Structure 1
């Protein structure tokens, strides 16, 4: 397993020096300043590679940009409206430019309107650490009373609607503004920052789009770009929905093992793969994450290893970001499945036998609490998670006691 770390570019408060001291082997990054749908030029790609190649004192970092996260799919492509065909052409050329720069793994997602969604970005845990949290009743209060989406109350259980009503009545203006900012925070570091009016406009443009239709648009997109990726030797990998269920009356189509199997079978190519995110998928109690790795592992090209603690037993419910070994996903069982998959690949002579992973998200602890880095991406919290994951991985791969012995 190859240890990587997400970096948002020169403005990231977690530096290249921090990454080197954490002992990571490669960098996960993206050109967040380029508007979604636009071309990633060779010059911009080379600039990012140069930015991460040196430490503060000018010495070589020895790190390289190994995984793109994300080359975003535009809303026009998801809706098949507006400039979607031009955006697909730009996407294919961007893939060519990335491959020319030596990059082979490209992560993306197909979530409509909003990327990952949380109601709290600094929820205090009993230890004093803070983490991101999704509170189902707070989200309902936002959807029903702040966004005022038509028919929103019908998408929530009656008891949740009642609780949302109560919370909204007691909510200060400051909390209402904070909740709105948190929900529409969108993709971290992205060029777009949605306002409520932007969200309403996007929702109107998605009106009437069913889950089957959105999945068809995903398959149409992949039918266009996967042949290009396969020809180039690029491995594309779709990130799951986060949370993995419908939001704002919109369908979501990459939330379960069945969703992934459908798309993998429809576009049956090694270039059409999976970003297995144990946190996103783990927010649903009916997702068996180690089992998904066992059954879909040959198409897993990238791993996000994080954990969440579900606060209800329902498919749709509240959860918060837990310590990497402290949530509801059995991380030891998941890593054991990864190690077995890598052994299969080595035995089969696959060049991609080492699957890159990153310690995804993390709780803000110690000096993180004053650093105010990108929500979910603290320095020390991720280092702690990486150290825990690294320890499990080392034990599983040890020739005396491990799986590979």
Structure 2
């Protein structure tokens, strides 16, 4: 196992087809408080809790054999001290030399909150208003059979309801305009050429981004995706926007910017767990003088960096989504770049099924101007939506480094 994988910010495990441990990285060994010799050759059950053993036997392995992969499955590991460690596991079955092996990535998740992002506050209020209207109309119709005078009351109620719908539509349109106005323009100068795309799935969006010139050499780019895509998500994006605009413009380090955004979300929902929202996000601080990029990825789809020679790197997440866990340490990753590279940041609405079509597309279009690449992505996105009929907010940022 190479050094980078051995000390990756997540656990890595290679299993035989029947579940015996063939390789394990130092990160996972440290989490479980094991040494390598005590686990190599042992069955994976030796590091699982009892319920997880049953789950792995009757669900995980059959699913792997059927689909050759598993994505975002939760199981529990057990340390040498019999402590339970919930993890998120992604696994891929592959043929290696003379045998079939199962590569697994395990990400510790100390706390998991389930959110119902399909039931938004606006939808609840609308449904309750409609129920009240139907009930009132039924009562009025019954009364009208006895007293014709109630007709005026029914007409008045209908007029008020129409007025409410018109006013609500106007308010939503105004909110949409305000939200889109807060988005910054792309920067095009002797350092960069940029293209952006932003599309809300409804009147309002849970996506928000910002592009800022901090000083002559430093630039900040941030992209956030708040769960859901309605009024509640849009309100949260606006509170986050005012905060990150101030922090980035002042030149704060990337880890501190993300820590402050995380703390802000925790404070918003401190006394209301039912309304709690989380947000994925990625923030990059670009130094054109030193030609380096610092970044933190909080549970966001991995950004793609492509060197001038076509080599690609994924800026994978280094922390859980904002607002999920208390006292998260946001680790800053840094890499140097060469002029002529290309960067793509996007929200999950651009690749909703994690189909990995963006990386090949970016590689294939390396010689195209940025505006042409933007059209290629939009065409591919349109085709994906036609196949899967999925509606979500869509945002992406393209950057060419001159």
Which TM-score bucket, shorter chain as reference?
Answer: under 0.3
How does the TM-score come out when normalised to structure 1? 0.26
Which one has more relative contact order, counting CA pairs under 8 Å at least 6 apart? 1
TM-score, reference length from structure 2: 0.26
Identify the structure with the greater strand proportion. Answer: 2
Q: Which has the higher helix share?
A: 1
